[in-house]
Each structure stands twice: as structure tokens, then as C-alpha cells.
Amino acid sequence: MKPVGLLGGTFNPVHHGHLRAAIETKEVLDLARVHLIPLLIPPHRDPPEVSAHLRLSMLQAATADEPALLADDREIRRGGVSYTIDTLIQMRDEMPETPLCMILGTDAFAWLHTWREWEHLIELAHIIVVHRPGTDLPKDVPANRLLRERETCKKEDLQDSPAGSFLSMAIPFLEISSTRIRSILHNGQNPRYLLPDSVLEIIRKERLYL
Ligand code: ATP
Ligand code: MG
């Protein structure tokens, strides 16, 4: 059975780095699709200044004509602080047998041990860390120590069971972050080509990140 991927984030705003990472991972691991899941309230940082509704609208605009990517509003609908463990419990409930692949970048991976019930995440999904070619995973982080025992480099392992494997993979990495886009806009400069035009249209119309 083809695994289903999920990539959570603030998406404030979504950009080509997120979208390419989702597509590259989908192709390499032969995923059925990737759910992009904007959080409502982040556990570990200040709430984004742009509403969840607008962050979701931007994500919907970015993925509208791409069947492999799905803007998934479950964390917004659920309300409260967005814990990934709750999202995985919910997805597992909906898809009892389907392999789930939780995708995260190395920056998020370095803090995985601070996530709620982080040691249980791998019981509900496979964990996929994407990193820049030529770079290694952060070796000293607690997550790396725990997950090494579960490590695989075979994508078949992801299809053979619903959860439980850890895989890291290098993908062509676009040097783009939402922080940089916000700062470009804040300085009155042009962020075009870092993110989809349809997203930029919403930003301009709603006068975001000024
Ligand atoms: P911010 O600058 O506000 O932190 P961000 O660009 O890092 O935003 P997030 O919404 O924080 O985006 O990230 C969501 C997920 O996407 C994280 O797992 C992160 O590692 C990953 N990610 C972010 N930017 C990229 C990129 N350019 N390439 C691959 N993955 C990325
Ligand atoms: Mg980030």
C-alpha cells in the first residue's frame, strides 16, 4: 500500500521550499499524496500574526491544481494547541492500515525531543527527515539517538508496515524560508519566485506582512 505523507508547519506563508520538499519526498518514496497541515497554535513559539484562515487560504491557493498535495485543515478545525501526536492519532484512526510518513526538515528534527509524547510519534507513523545534500543530520540530538535503532534506507520498509521506521534523505533543497519572505515584504521588496504567484496575490490583496 502506498504510504501517505504529512508535512506540518506554520506555513506563514507557504513557499516553494515547502512545496518542492513535499513533491521530492513523494516521488522518491512513492507516496500516494502529501497532506500539508497548517498548525493553529504552535506549542513552542508565538502564535503567527496571520490568521489560520488566511494561512490555510494561501496553502489552498498553492496546491489547488496539484493532486499530489493536499491542504489539510484538521489542526485548525480541532482547535487549541496543535500537537502532532493528536494529528497522528486522528489520521491513524481514519486510515488504520495505511503507512503514514511524517516529513520534517532538519531544523524541526533538532527539536523533536521537545514535542509532546515525541517518543510515541514513531508508533503512529514513519519519520522522514529531509536534509540538504552534503549535510548530515544533527547527530547529538536526543531524537537521533532514539531513532537510530529504527533507521532504514529502504523505501519498501515504509510500505510494509504502517509505522515504526526512521529514514533520512537528502533532497535538492531550496534556500527559502517564510522568515525571509516576511522580511522581504516588510522591507518593501519583491519576494516573487520564492513562492507561488497565487500566494503572493493573497498577500498583496490582504496587505499581509507589511
Ligand atoms: P519560518 O521561517 O517561519 O520558521 P519555515 O520556512 O521554516 O518558516 P515552517 O512552516 O516553519 O517553514 O516549516 C514547516 C516544515 O517545512 C518544517 O519541517 C521545515 O523543516 C520544512 N521546511 C521549511 N522550509 C523548507 C525548505 N526550504 N526546504 C525543505 N523543507 C523546508
Ligand atoms: Mg521554521
Each residue of 146-159: pLDDT tens digit? Answer: 788 999 999 999 99
* C-alpha distance from residue 200 to each of 9, 11, 13, 127, 206 (Å): 18, 13, 9, 31, 10
User: DSSP label at 74?
Assistant: H
Which class is 4-175 in CATH?
alpha beta
Q: List the chain domain ranges.
A: 4-175
* C-alpha distance from residue 59 to each of 34, 36, 98, 148, 203 (Å): 13, 8, 24, 33, 12
pLDDT tens per residue across span 152-190: 999 999 999 999 999 999 999 899 999 999 999 999 999
Burial class of residue 177, CB neighbours in 10 A (0-12, 13-18, 19+): middle
Report the separation in Å between the CA atom of 25 and the middle of ligand 1, taken as the mean of its atom positions. 14
Which ligand is located closest to the Cα atom of residue 84? Answer: 1
Q: State the cell numbers at 47.
A: 502564535
- pTM score over 0.85: yes
User: Given CA atoms 142, 120, 106, 51 in this order, what sign does their dihedral have?
Assistant: negative
Report the separation in Å between the CA atom of 151 and the middle of ligand 1, taken as the mean of its atom positions. 23
